[in-house]
Structure 1
Amino acid sequence: MMRNTVGKLVWGAALSTMMGVAVAGDVLLIEKVEERMMRDLPRNGLTQQQVEERYGEPNSKHAPVGDPPITRWIYDDFNVYFEYDLVIESVLHHDAIMREVEARSEP
């Protein structure tokens, strides 16, 4: 009986801990989505020339990979992915998101 109770307590504590982590993860995900929405990132459908005119020369350009060819450009705070010549996705770097979240939370 005592062993069964201890087992339930251990599982209960583990479940509570995991739920706390899940909630913290959800909050961080929401903050990431809000941060991305507030940023001026290259929109889907822009050409490579339009991106370069608006955001400047990227730090690096990776060669196209695969078929269709996917190209990645790396900027300070985000990456831009192109299929052929058109933007298909812009992704913020994790550290850029965290800097913005921390800056907003400071008094």
Structure 2
Amino acid sequence: MTIKRALAGTLATALFLTLVPASGALAEDLRVPVGSQADRSQQNMPSMGMTQASVQSAWGQPDSIDTAVGQPPISQWHYGKFVVYFEKNRVIHSVLTRQR
């Protein structure tokens, strides 16, 4: 019986490997155009750690403000070319907005 089990296992493995293609064989390389990207290093935007008061002093009143949500509270200040994300009173990230 041991030989029958071994043959059955070998046959099942061979059949499985024959019918199931290698995972990379069906992979497709997709190219998604992202458009022109701005070089963030050349943009004048708030940096991490700045306070809301210092951002407002340097860039003025934002066009709009999304109030804080979540825990910790995260808010957004929208300016013409970028959005500033705050955790409580400090900048955690500044992101360029897509220019159409």
Could you say which TM-score interval applies, normalised by the shorter chain?
Answer: 0.5 to 0.7
TM-score norm. by structure 2 comes to 0.64
Structure with more of its chain in helix, by fraction: 1
Q: Which runs of no fewer than 5 residues in structure 1 stay unpaired?
A: 1-13, 99-107
TM-score norm. by structure 1 comes to 0.60
Q: Which runs of no fewer than 5 residues in structure 2 stay unpaired?
A: 1-27
Letter in 2 for 1:40: N
User: Partners of 2:78 and 2:53 in 1: how far apart?
Assistant: 15
Structure 1 runs of 4+ off > 6 angstroms? Answer: none
Q: What residue number does 1:87 align with? A: 91
Describe the SS at the equivalent of 1:57: coil
Percent sequence identity over aligned pairs:
36
Q: Does 1:70 align with 2:85?
A: no
Deviations 1:50-96 (A, max 9, x none): 0000000000111100000001000001000000000000000111x
Q: What residue number does 1:43 align with? A: 47
Which entry has the higher C-alpha Rg, 1 or 2? 2
